[in-house]
Amino acid sequence: MLTEYIHLAMRLAKYEILEDSTFYGEIPGFQGVWANAALLEDCREGLRQALEDWIVLGLRMGHDLPVVENIQLFPG
């Protein structure tokens, strides 16, 4: 279920090219989950890692995490 949650959340990601020609990515609804890199693939990988870390921290702290396509990860 965790792998599917991450996969579906990553499908929500939005990317843009910044003025310095680097890529910025974030996932709407996942506050503080973002990445920035020179290459799009590196940005995607950084975003996935940030998401995974954010999920682990959120679960450890007992935060409610966003529901993604009917998948709810429960804290604790």
Class of residue 51 by CB neighbours under 10 A (exposed 0-12, middle 13-18, buried 19+): buried
Over 60: is that where the pLDDT of 76 sits?
no
| Structural domains of the chain, with CATH | 2-61 (3.30.160.250)
Over 60: is that where the pLDDT of 7 sits?
yes
Q: What does the block give as tokens for 20?
A: 């310095």
Q: What is the pLDDT of residues 14-71, one digit of tens each?
A: 999 999 999 999 999 999 999 999 999 999 999 999 999 999 999 999 999 999 999 9
> Can you give the pLDDT at residue 23?
98
Helices (H) and strands (E) counted in the chain, each on its own, are 2, 3
